[in-house]
């Protein structure tokens, strides 16, 4: 299974080529007698050559033409490189592991100015908070065997018209939510037509935030659910050290608000650490049983299975596209999380493990689910980007941050990958030079 589940089943009818050969006719007698053996052999060679020619033409018609037709009219998209030249190594995005690649510097980035976007938290606007170098803004992810189409805001706005996009997770999810909104706002002429539905300021303390693009009749929403499962009260007969519990077999009590959506993007993982759990007196519970000795990885697996069961039971797979983003590594200089060394360029020689236990668990759990879940396996992709963290350029310079990302930055690329998948899901064709029909 590839990290990014892009496989689709396409049904189509193939024409059957039937070639009927009549019974061989007797060779007529010429006045010079029977045809020589040599002449007969030449006639057979000619017949065989003609027969082979028509077989080749028939096979080409059956296999090649329908494939090209599907590719251009049913949304399987061809992409080009940044010079708008078709690369010999480019292929269909649907047949490509988009997370196997590298970061390259490109022109035309960043996609937006965070200071001008009213939905970016001040703590993520690194340039606005005094960062001087801008090299971290010019990197874009390049898969080895395909191309991710350049962000075209007009196409995306039309694609999302009358839809509901929902992000669910922790602050990393909120960062990605802010990123997408700012990307989309670059294509909106009347900025006042984009607003938070409850007129709230963007802050980590609010459980629900929703931004409406009124001219296009869609919303991009964020629900804060750091564990995805419910947080419960103190168990009746629990030891004194137990202050709260995680109900691993019950999804968050606000999960019913996620159902009626077109695009659902989840993440969880960064709160599944001792400092957020055991050190705060939070332990695990399944049913009425308190699991004091249960490890965090074991609990995480149970919570994910609860989540996948909910997806299979509650989500309409004919309407809703579901994504789950894996754990992205931080780049703290030590285990105390007090020293943060933000580099000027990506660190391609990195000691950060390409795989993460939480990410591995996501992949293992999701592969056994009948519902089509697209895994955004960003763990190894994000590992080199030690240059893109907030560091000291936040709204409180006395506190370093090597977990969250600057905006613009890495979360923009996660959104570009999601949008590329949606181009295929919603059958939006791309021409060979990477543009859409709206560009022509």
Is the model's pLDDT at 55 over the cut of 80? Answer: no
Predicted confidence (pLDDT) per residue in 36-46, tens digit: 445 555 545 56
DSSP conformation class of 219: E
Q: What is the C-alpha to C-alpha distance for residues 193 and 154, in angstroms, rounded to an integer?
A: 16
Predicted confidence (pLDDT) per residue in 90-138, tens digit: 334 667 889 999 999 999 999 999 999 999 999 999 999 999 999 999 9
Q: Answer yes or no: are the C-beta atoms of 42 and 416 closer than 8 Å.
A: no
Higher pLDDT, 354 or 82: 354
Cis peptide bond upstream of 213, omega within 30 = no
Predicted confidence (pLDDT) per residue in 208-248, tens digit: 999 999 999 999 999 999 999 999 988 778 899 999 999 99
Report the relative pairing of strands 208-213 and 194-196 from DSSP bridges.
antiparallel
Predicted confidence (pLDDT) per residue in 386-413, tens digit: 999 999 999 888 888 989 999 999 999 9
HSE of 254 in the Cβ direction (CA atoms, 13 Å)?
14
Predicted confidence (pLDDT) per residue in 254-282, tens digit: 999 999 999 999 999 999 999 999 999 99
Q: Answer yes or no: are the C-beta atoms of 194 and 211 closer than 8 Å.
A: yes
Q: Mean pLDDT over all residues of the chain?
A: 80
Four-residue CA torsion sign, 46, 47, 52, 54: positive
Q: Answer yes or no: are the C-beta atoms of 287 and 345 closer than 8 Å.
A: no
Position 46 scores a pLDDT of 62
Q: To the nearest whole percent, how much of the chain has pLDDT over 90?
A: 61
Is the model's pLDDT at 28 over the cut of 70? Answer: no
């Amino acid at each position: 299974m590839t990290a990014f589940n892009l496989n689709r089943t396409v049904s189509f009818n193939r024409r059957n080529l039937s070639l009927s050969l009549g019974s061989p006719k007797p060779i007529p007698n010429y006045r010079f007698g029977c045809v020589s053996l040599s002449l007969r052999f030449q006639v057979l060679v000619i017949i065989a050559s003609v027969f082979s020619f028509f077989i080749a033409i028939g096979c080409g018609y059956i296999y090649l033409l329908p494939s090209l037709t599907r590719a251009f009219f049913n949304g399987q998209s061809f992409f080009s490189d940044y010079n708008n030249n078709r690369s010999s190594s480019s292929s269909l995005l649907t047949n490509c592991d988009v997370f196997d690649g590298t970061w390259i510097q490109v022109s035309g980035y960043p996609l937006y100015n965070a200071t001008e976007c009213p939905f970016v938290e001040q703590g993520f606007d690194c340039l606005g908070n005094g960062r001087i170098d801008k090299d971290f803004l010019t990197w874009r992810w390049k898969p080895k065997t395909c191309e991710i189409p350049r962000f075209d805001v007009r196409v995306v706005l039309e694609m999302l018209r009358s839809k509901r996009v929902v992000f669910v997770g922790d602050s990393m999810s909120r960062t990605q939510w802010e990123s997408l909104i700012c990307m989309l706002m670059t294509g909106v002429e009347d900025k006042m037509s984009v607003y938070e539905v409850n007129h709230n300021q963007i802050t980590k303390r609010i459980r629900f935030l929703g931004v409406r693009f009124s001219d296009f009749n869609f919303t991009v929403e964020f629900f804060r659910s750091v564990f995805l499962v419910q947080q419960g009260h103190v168990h009746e007969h629990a030891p004194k050290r137990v202050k709260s519990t995680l109900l691993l077999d019950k999804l968050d009590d606000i999960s019913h608000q996620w159902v009626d959506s077109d695009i659902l993007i989840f993440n969880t993982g960064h709160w599944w650490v001792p400092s957020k759990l055991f050190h705060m007196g939070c332990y695990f519970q399944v049913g009425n049983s308190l699991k004091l000795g249960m490890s965090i990885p074991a609990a995480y697996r149970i919570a994910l299975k609860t989540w996948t069961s909910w997806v299979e039971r509650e989500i309409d797979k004919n309407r809703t596209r579901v994504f789950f983003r894996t754990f992205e590594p931080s780049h703290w200089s030590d285990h105390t999380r007090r020293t943060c060394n933000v580099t000027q360029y990506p660190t391609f020689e990195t000691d950060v493990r390409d795989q993460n236990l939480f990410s591995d668990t996501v992949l293992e759990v999701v592969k056994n689910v009948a519902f089509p879940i697209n895994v955004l396996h960003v763990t190894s992709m994000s590992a080199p980007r030690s240059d893109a963290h907030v560091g000291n350029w936040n709204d409180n310079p006395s506190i370093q941050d090597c977990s969250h990302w600057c905006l613009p930055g890495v979360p923009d690329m996660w959104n570009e990958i999601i949008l590329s998948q949606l181009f295929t899901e919603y059958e939006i064709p791309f021409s060979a030079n990477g543009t859409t029909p709206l560009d022509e």
